[in-house]
Amino acid sequence: MAIFPAIFSGLCLLLFLHPYISFPLSLRMMRPRPLRPASDTPWPSASILFCAHNEERALPEKLGNLEAIRALHPDIRIFAYDDMSSDSTRTILMSRPDLLTLVPSRERTGKATGMRHMVEQADSDICIFTDANVIIHPRSIAPLLDCFRDPAVGGVSGQLRYINDKDGTTAQVGSHYWRLEEHIKTLESRCGSMMGADGAIFATRREIYPQVPRHLLDDMTVSTSVMFEGLRLVSGPGVIAYEKGTTDSRDEFRRKRRIACRAFNTHRYLWPAIRDHFPMRDIYKYVRHKLLRWLGAPIEALFLISFTATLLLTGHDRWVLILWAAGSVAMLLGRMGFPVFSVLYEIQLSIIATFIGVIDSLRGRTYQTWSPAKSRN
């Protein structure tokens, strides 16, 4: 009788760990597909686009970063969309007509609408998307544009690095998770295309920019749509951006929940096209990278239930009490900030927040606008 729950618990555990361990290993076994940029082809023209809402604290550093980029690439155009900020964001942006073109809004619209307005005004070959609080390494623009010399490439993603991973457990866990995420994206790119780009730093050919519904993740929609055109979405070597992560558990929980809800709404919108246009290799990547992570909490719950059933059916009732009590104490100690336990607690919160976001999506909830996390600055 106990053999079935034992096998089921083992399968659930393997499925839960697959996106982080065996999936990256499987990517290493796939045939590489190197970039082939034509050295005799000139760089395409480019514009940098970013949206801002109440980013007055981040803008001085951002404007300095844009000045450094402009010094290396004088022809690059820069657009900024102010989404009805209530602080001095618009005033700061308006003060630099020599550096950027301000696209103002008359109502809160959200990032997807703001990006579309800027793309409509840009006349460059390439649109480089970023965030107001993200710093792009000035020498990243050259290798990014170099990737577009390969006619098979339709989108390029950079690598995001968090610069405040020493500022508490929340920032530390977020930074370590993102390093793994960037590693997996690099492996996906190595054998074809990566499964979506992060809005901190990515670029696409302007001519293939799709229509993005206002409540969806524009970065996921735009970057994934590259592959619907039969083009590659790749990780650009040497394309680096920097950002501060959140340092407060509550901020991070709300952020994860909001992003997961929007991501799953975006998945439901894109899935018919993914199913029809993606080759089997990319569907494999998408399901392992995206779907299994979104469903991590119920898979983990099934493992715990089936493992508990296995112990009960084999007469190890005492171990059930010991393990559940130990797990509860570990989470309590983690919430109180004890080392090691706090890391486990933050990881568990992330898994739960993500699945709550999925439930929000299934219940019809949307997040169209955003506010900067208070603990980020």
**∠ CA 95-96-99, rounded to 5°:** 175
Q: Under a CB-based contact definition with an 8 Å cutoff, are residues 365 and 261 in contact?
A: yes
Answer whether residue 133 is part of any domain. Answer: yes
Number of domains in the chain: 1
Domain assignment of residue 180, given as a range: 32-247
Answer whether residue 226 is part of any domain. Answer: yes
Answer whether residue 36 is part of any domain. Answer: yes
Non-local CB neighbours of 243 within 8 Å, separated by 6+ positions: 131, 133, 134, 135, 160, 161, 162, 163, 200
Answer whether residue 81 is part of any domain. Answer: yes
Report mean pLDDT in 10-residue bins for the chain, 377 residues: 87 96 96 90 94 94 97 97 94 96 91 94 96 96 96 96 82 87 96 94 97 92 96 96 87 92 96 94 96 96 95 92 94 89 92 96 85 61
Answer whether residue 85 is part of any domain. Answer: yes
Answer whether residue 356 is part of any domain. Answer: no
Query: Could you give the 3-state DSSP secondary structure of residue 76?
Result: coil
Answer whether residue 331 is part of any domain. Answer: no
Q: What is the pLDDT of residue 371?
A: 67
Whole-number Å distance between alpha carbons of 82 and 50: 9
Q: What is the pLDDT of residue 376?
A: 58
Burial environment of residue 269 by CB neighbours within 10 A (0 to 12, 13 to 18, 19 or more): middle
Whole-number Å distance between alpha carbons of 159 and 290: 18
Answer whether residue 296 is part of any domain. Answer: no
Q: What are phi and psi of 61, to 5 degrees?
A: -70, -35
Q: What is the pLDDT of residue 370?
A: 63
Q: Which CATH number goes with the domain that contains 158?
A: 3.90.550.10
Give the closest residue to 270 by CA, choosing from 255, 288, 283, 284.
283
Q: What is the pLDDT of residue 374?
A: 62
Amino acid at 309: A
pTM of the model: 0.93
Sheet of 201-205: strand order equals 101-104, 77-82, 46-52, 126-131, 201-205, 153-162, 232-243, 135-136
